[in-house]
Amino acid sequence: MNISPSGMAAPLPAAEPDHGRNVFLAAQRLSANCFFNALLRETGCGTWYRRERRPLPNGVSAPAVCIPLATGKTELWLNVSYFSECGRHQFALPIVWRSGDGHCAQVDLAQAAQLVADEPGFFPGADRVSRAQFTRRVEASVDNMAQALRARSSDCEHLFAQPLTFVEAEQGLLCGHAIHPTPKSREPFTDEDAQRYAPEFGNHFSLTWLGVDAQFVRGASSAQLSQGAVTDRVREGDGVAPAPGGMVALPAHPWQWRRLRKDARLAALIAQGKIIELGCGAASWHATSSLRAVYSAQSPYMLKFSLSLRLTNSVRTLQPQEAARGLEVLKVRDTPAGREFTSRYPHFHILAEPAYLMLTDSEGEQIVESLVMFRENPFVGEKSRQACVLATLTQDHPQGAPCRAAQLILQLAQRQRLSPAAATRRWFAAFLDVVVEPLLIAQADFGMLFGAHQQNLILAFRDGIPVTGYFRDCQGTGYSQLGEQLLRPHLPDLARDGDNLIHEAQANRLFVYYLIVNSTFGLISALAAAELLTERELLCQLRDRLQLLWEGRRKDPSCLEYLLHDAEIWAKGNFQCALTGMNETTSADPFSIYHRLPNPLLIRQPHRSQG
């Protein structure tokens, strides 16, 4: 990489209109937030300058952060527009590179990523090939984000400040993972694939339907309906004729089917007429924020497909044990413990996945790339209105305005004549009521573990206040020793196929990362960045609730004690995962990418503002 001592990275073409330049800069800024928050959290490499204690590089003014690079004794500098105790900072362009002899240059994120990847001290387990691949993915992610921002630029006001339906919110997540170096990487999607199938472009498509000789289909169901009956409910709603006698109708994602029909394992079956195409459905299906899960307002089920596509940390092919976990949730819900949990928290719902299907080859071996799971879909009719995935509520605004959650709170304050601080406390308390408390009690009193990160949590609203919480994606479920004790008498085969009994210490690390670090701290940072309340005030409100729950004599208080008393908690290392090229879902040791971070809940009570 060449950086001139005179100071500037290559400028945009002069002929590019202002709108194009603004989109490019927005994608750079949003991507820099994601990239550097992940790097700083995992390495602790930053030196923070709250005030100007020494001369700063040209283009940088305090507050700022300096990232030293051992190679050549150089540095990267960023302006800091918001400093977060929870670790989700906001940065301002430019990114400035300073050499050992004091020369400065403004660099774009791809150049900064190259400098970071060239540092052997950052994640020494990464080899040369994975580092080169990493820099390509960073650059592609920025380009992908710019492409989406350009396509949705006229929707910005609607996405951040107006009422949204379930599908509008799912397709309104423009930025991706807030703490990840490649939040919008998607290989091997082309731009045309993305425009048709990626949710952030706001489009829809038709499913491809297959007729498959029954001997080449594997599946299971834990519902009262067989998997065939579940499939027929979707097929009939999609306006597709039944499969011929002896065949099973199987829905396929059109992008994935284009790849599968070239697969040597299926070629002979297709040639022999054992697999035929029934045609395209009539309904409109929309990719949700996860891309591989799709939604139709006419269907009682959402569908989650295997996709041979690398998004962020993983190739998104489903595994049989993941499908088994989805089936088991329905059984767990129907146990005495499951029914008691539901009765205690009627405004919190776990969306089960009651059936799955996949193809097999001529030898009977499962083809996981064809797997499709059926997920309960409550978001039909009136319930499809005013429902929003948490990640869309907290994402950074492309123009730097407050996030969607903050704008909802400001609207609430205006309607009810509250101060912004009072409205924020009320809104956040409702979030604790319908999301955080139910999930913590599921762990502490029932031994049920739900990986509730921001894309797996959906809030429903009434008058701008969260009134219902939903958890989806049962692949991220597990059971602790307490769960095993409570559930095994009713489910003797608990976790036999799902492989998701988790030891207490590991369970607490995983559970807390998803629900608290990813989701709740992410929300706190987003609200505080909008200057509604300080992070310290929101953390105290969270800590007060945790303390109250702990005092309730829990069956397993270990997780609450971990949150309230441990000096450090664990978080997933998305930067490490991306730089080393790990496929998280198939890693032999997925815990190897977790790292410690200071626990921001060990805090003193702030002076509480009035309002």
List, for residues 458-495, the tens digit of each pLDDT value: 999 999 999 999 999 999 999 999 999 999 999 999 99
Q: Which residue has the higher pLDDT, 535 or 587?
A: 535
What's residue 17's pLDDT? 54
How much of the chain, in percent, has pLDDT values that exceed 70? 95
Run of H or E including 170? helix 166-170
Whether 19 shows a pLDDT value over 80: the answer reads: no
What's residue 6's pLDDT? 34
Using CA of residue 343, residue 348, residue 351, residue 352, what is the dihedral sign? Answer: negative
What's residue 5's pLDDT? 34
Q: How far apart are CA 469 and CA 119, in angstroms?
A: 43
What's residue 586's pLDDT? 72
List, for residues 25-50, the tens digit of each pLDDT value: 999 999 999 999 999 999 999 999 98
Q: How far apart are CA 319 and CA 323, in angstroms?
A: 7
What's residue 604's pLDDT? 59
Whether 14 shows a pLDDT value over 60: the answer reads: no
Q: What is the mean pLDDT of residues 181-206?
A: 96
Whether 1 shows a pLDDT value over 70: the answer reads: no
Check whether the bond before 557 is cis (ω within 30° of 0): no
Whether 283 shows a pLDDT value over 60: the answer reads: yes
How much of the chain, in percent, has pLDDT values that exceed 90? 86
Structure tokens at 111: 């150049």
List, for residues 309-368, the tens digit of each pLDDT value: 999 888 999 999 999 999 999 999 999 999 999 999 999 999 999 999 999 999 999 999
What's residue 53's pLDDT? 66
For 583, phi then psi, to 5°, come to -95, 100
Whether 2 shows a pLDDT value over 70: the answer reads: no
For 202, phi then psi, to 5°, come to 70, 20
List, for residues 563-605, the tens digit of each pLDDT value: 999 999 999 999 999 999 988 777 777 788 999 999 999 975 5
What's residue 609's pLDDT? 37
What's residue 222's pLDDT? 87
Whether 3 shows a pLDDT value over 60: the answer reads: no
From 581, 578, 576, select the one nearest 593 (Cα to Cα).
576
List, for residues 501-525, the tens digit of each pLDDT value: 999 889 999 999 999 999 999 999 9
Q: Give all domains of the chain, ordered by start, each with its CATH number.
A: 18-122 (no CATH), 186-376 (no CATH), 384-598 (1.10.510.40)
Q: Which residue has the higher pLDDT, 168 or 222?
A: 168
Go through 455-464 and write b for each residue having 16 or more CB atoms within 10 A of its CB, e for each that does not.
bbbbbbbeeb
- The per-residue DSSP string of 419-449 comes to -HHHHHHHHHHHHIIIIIHHHHHHHHHH-EE
Q: How far apart are CA 358 and CA 216, in angstroms?
A: 8
Whether 10 shows a pLDDT value over 90: the answer reads: no
Local structure of 219: helix, strand or coil = strand
What's residue 50's pLDDT? 86
What's residue 469's pLDDT? 98
What's residue 18's pLDDT? 67
Structure tokens at 479: 């059971």
Q: What is the mean pLDDT of residues 373-399?
A: 96
Q: How far apart are CA 517 and CA 576, in angstroms?
A: 17
